[in-house]
Structure 1
């Protein structure tokens, strides 16, 4: 039995922390910014996409390693580092503090999944691939095509 509840969240003004600034963080960033989240990034180095959004004033970034107090005040945290051990530590901190955390690279263990989604006007279609992002995108494409959204 699946014990996940799909929700559409109003992210306007919510503090979202991305720990890590590579390609996965860059993919997560666009939808968060479009949703109106206040995004903060913590990483020793920033990828090109993150640097561009920082230069445009769309986010706040801290070029340093993660510190436990970074999660304080966050509504949602993305643990997206190259270190599974650090990602697990971030998840544990968030669990202790009742903060939602998306655990990169370990979707089955993550309490939060990102759904593949697409807006058409005021209509939203969101699809889960059971933790498989490629499957979710393929399903979303088929649904959008069947709705005539292509």
Structure 2
């Protein structure tokens, strides 16, 4: 059994190669762009959405089939095609080039898996079944999306601005730790839901500083 190491990866400015031009490739490209990756797409046929990204110069297209050497200089690659021969070739080339590879629907050939996930601002919740059941991971994600609403994004945005102030003004380590632990209080989330966003920083500060 393969045990995967969970991690959050910085992709900003890193070269990423996606092979394929269909709907799966479209989703992969979207998530890579969201994380700031510099995407090169290798495919002669593209979905309308991918074509629009190429025209807007948000991604680069190589309009042909994959060739050995196309991964040179890449940080990671994604193979979004069900061509098994091509999948095996790219996986082998990626290992030779030292490029991390994600091969769609071929867990045994992957260096990394992309979990089912959702964002609430800086909060990212991801679920993986190790490639055994993407449908189950998707179901769990949907359940959690209902539980973790917009208030988590709003709270984290406020906390990111208040944390330096807490560190600066609260000198006692035990007191500071106690204050920072209060951010997990359910009552604080209720406060976020009920408060005008313009006055939220002051209300959260008052809540955290209360004895």
- TM-score by length of structure 2 reads 0.67
Give the structure 2 partner of residue 146 of structure 1. Answer: 147
Match of 1:39 in 2: 39
Cα distance in 2 between the residues matched to 1:143 and 1:118: 9
Q: Larger % of helix: which?
A: 2
Shift of 1:85: 0.7
The aligned counterpart of 2:87 is 87
Larger relative contact order (CA 8 Å, sep ≥ 6): 1
- Higher Rg: 2
Is 2:142 the partner of 1:127? no
Distance of 1:20 and 1:119 partners within structure 2: 26
> Which one is further off, 124-133 or 53-62?
124-133
Q: Which residue of 1 aligns with 2:138?
A: 137
1:62 aligns with 2:59: no
Distance 1:107 1:2, change over 3 A: closer
Report if aligned partners of 2:91, 2:109 keep a CA contact under 8 Å in 1. Answer: no
Within-5 A mapping of 1:72-111 = 72-111=72-111
Per residue, is there more strand in 1 or in 2? 1
- Unaligned ranges ≥5, structure 2: 152-211
Separation of aligned partners in 2, 1:149 and 1:130: 28
Q: Is the 8 A contact 1:46 1:63 kept in 2?
A: no
Scaled by the length of structure 1, the TM-score of the pair is 0.92
Q: Quote the offset at 1:149 in angstroms.
A: 5.1
Alpha-carbon deviations, 1:55-100, whole Å to 9, x = none? Answer: 1221000111111111001101011223111111000110122210
30-39 or 135-144, which deviates more: 135-144
